Copies of this chain bind each other. A is one copy, B any other.
Amino acid sequence: MAACELCEESGGEVLFRNEQLRIVLIADANYPGFCRVIWNAHVPEMTDLKPEERSVLMRTVCQVESALREVMQPEKINLASLGNMVPHLHWHLIPRFTDDAHFPNPVWAATQRQTADDILMQRRALLPALREAVVRYASCSA
């Protein structure tokens, strides 16, 4: 079996980590604020987790969604667990805007446009606040 990159590496800038999972920020030039929630153990599917573990993971996904909405105020949040290439359970959380590179299509579809540099710079300027909000939400037990 080939080595798994999410077993060997963090998979991004770690914003929060506990025994079960970690939240990372992805350096995607077109999508400032793109986060992933990665289950630490190597399992491929949600239903490979125990029901309590699924709840913990989705609670964290929703906490990151809350942080993204509060700070970035996107048009829409996109959530996905795919893992066809890296079958190690991880959730993509992507804040979407009507002027982003693929809207209204998924980010995996053909590019629709290039977002203006000043818009992307404004969004990148929100990342310090996003880091703070992710930690604040993820540290909350509710």
Contact = CB atoms under 8 A, between A and B. Distances in A.
Interface of A: 44-47, 51, 54-55, 58-59, 61-62, 65-66, 69, 75-85, 87, 96, 103-106, 108-110, 142
Q: Is the interface of A mostly helix, strand, loop or mixed?
A: mixed
Contact of A81 (B46, B75, B79, B85): B79
A84 B108 contact: no
A115 to B, nearest CB: 15
B80 A82 contact: yes
Contacts of A54: 58, 62
A45 B65 contact: yes
Given A58-B54, A58-B58, A62-B46, A87 B76 contact: yes
